[in-house]
């Protein structure tokens, strides 16, 4: 059984007003336990609306979201439980910090779950370790942290709920290159250790190519593609038509192939390309 499944999921903003807008249109998708899914799409393609429906923050206009086979809106009073199972990190999550100390802020989620104090303490420390916030920072005011630290503290606030599915909406937006790399590898590590499902919305093809197993492409409210990362990024033309692109290195390798080389399709990272070229040269005996 898929951990998340959507059936004809649609959402319309401002229904019955002159500002009516269809944001998500009949999306059918199945996400399996443990997958790392990248979600791409133009600004306004409906991806943020889509992910907010997955944890019941907004109610679909029509269609269903199934979590472990059960419709999440079956019992609207229980919707909070769904939010604990499907954790959501919004864009610029540092703007939602509010407590006196980082520790208290991270414990907000677990406290709402009604856990015992010792369990809360354990979860807060675990979450803080995942995002690499050291002990003394935990007792500082969140407003005294640096930008990157704030971001990580806010993400820890969601990790501390230990959700089965973690959704991150552009977690690296506005961070410097170093901060991006660190955060991304922390998310990866978290995914590997906990073996939970992660959905990452991002505009950076490089980021998505590096970490995800599968990619979901949204275009003008519709689900355009949903396939293995390699397969999606081998459709260069199609992606460019809808205003997206493939990672630079994938494009370079593709144009080398056009010029008569025969590198394998769907190379996604510089490291892969490096290895591929080395083996090629080695085979031809041109390396030394």
Q: Which stretch binds another protein (CB under 8 A): 49-57, 238-246, 249-257, 270-278?
A: 49-57
Phi first, then psi, for residue 256 (nearest 5°) are: -65, -40
- Choose, by CB under 8 A, the member of 9, 36, 45, 83 that binds another protein: 83
Q: Are strands 222-228 and 62-67 parallel, antiparallel or unpaired?
A: unpaired
**Residues 155, 93 contacting (CB under 8 angstroms):** yes
Question: Of these, 12, 66, 113, 252, which contacts another protein (CB under 8 A)?
Answer: 113
Helix (H) and strand (E) counts in the chain: 12, 10
Could you tell me whether strands 36-41 and 214-219 are parallel, antiparallel, or unpaired per DSSP bridges? parallel
CA-to-CA distance for 267 and 277, rounded, in angstroms?
11
Among 11, 36, 50, 90, binds another protein (CB under 8 A): 90
Q: At its nearest, how many Å lie between another protein and the CB of residue 210?
A: 26
Residue 82 vs 267, nearer CB to another protein: 82
* 110 neighbors 120 (Cβ within 8 angstroms): yes
Given 7, 30, 84, 132, the residue binding another protein (CB under 8 A): 84
Which position has the token pair 């950076």? 204
CB of 194 to another protein, least distance (A): 18
The nearer residue to another protein, 107 or 229, going by C-beta atoms, is 107
Q: Tell me if 233 contacts another protein by CB under 8 A.
A: no
By beta-carbon proximity to another protein, the closer residue of 171 and 266 is 171
Q: Cα(99)–Cα(30) distance, rounded to whole angstroms?
A: 37
Smallest distance, another protein to C-beta of residue 155, A: 11
At 239 the three-state DSSP class reads helix
Q: Which residues bind another protein (CB under 8 A)?
A: 52, 55, 57, 80, 83-84, 87-88, 90, 93, 95-98, 108-109, 112-113, 143, 157-158, 161
């Amino acid at each position: 059984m898929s951990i998340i499944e959507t059936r004809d999921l649609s959402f319309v903003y401002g229904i019955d007003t002159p500002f009516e807008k269809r944001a998500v249109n009949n999306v059918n998708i199945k996400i399996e336990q443990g997958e790392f899914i990248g979600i791409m799409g133009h600004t306004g393609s409906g991806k943020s609306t889509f992910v907010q429906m997955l944890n019941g923050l907004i109610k679909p206009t029509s269609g269903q979201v199934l979590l472990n086979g059960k419709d999440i809106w079956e019992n609207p009073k229980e919707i909070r439980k769904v939010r604990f199972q499907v954790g959501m990190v919004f864009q610029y999550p540092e703007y939602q910090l509010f407590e006196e100390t980082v520790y208290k802020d991270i414990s907000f989620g677990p406290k709402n779950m009604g856990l015992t104090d010792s369990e809360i303490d354990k979860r807060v420390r675990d979450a803080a370790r995942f995002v690499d916030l050291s002990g003394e920072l935990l007792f500082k005011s969140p407003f005294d942290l640096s930008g990157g630290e704030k971001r990580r503290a806010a993400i820890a606030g969601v990790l501390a709920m230990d959700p089965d599915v973690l959704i991150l909406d552009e977690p690296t937006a506005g961070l410097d290159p170093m901060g991006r790399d660190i955060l991304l590898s922390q998310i990866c590590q978290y995914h590997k250790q906990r073996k939970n499902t992660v959905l990452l919305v991002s505009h950076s093809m490089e980021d998505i190519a590096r970490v995800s197993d599968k990619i979901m492409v949204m275009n003008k409210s519709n689900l355009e593609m949903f396939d293995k990362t390699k397969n999606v990024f081998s459709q260069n033309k199609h992606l460019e038509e809808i205003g997206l692109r493939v990672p630079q290195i994938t494009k370079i390798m593709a144009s080398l192939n056009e010029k008569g080389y025969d590198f394998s399709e769907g190379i996604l990272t510089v490291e892969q390309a490096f290895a591929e070229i080395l083996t090629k040269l080695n085979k031809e005996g041109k390396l030394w």
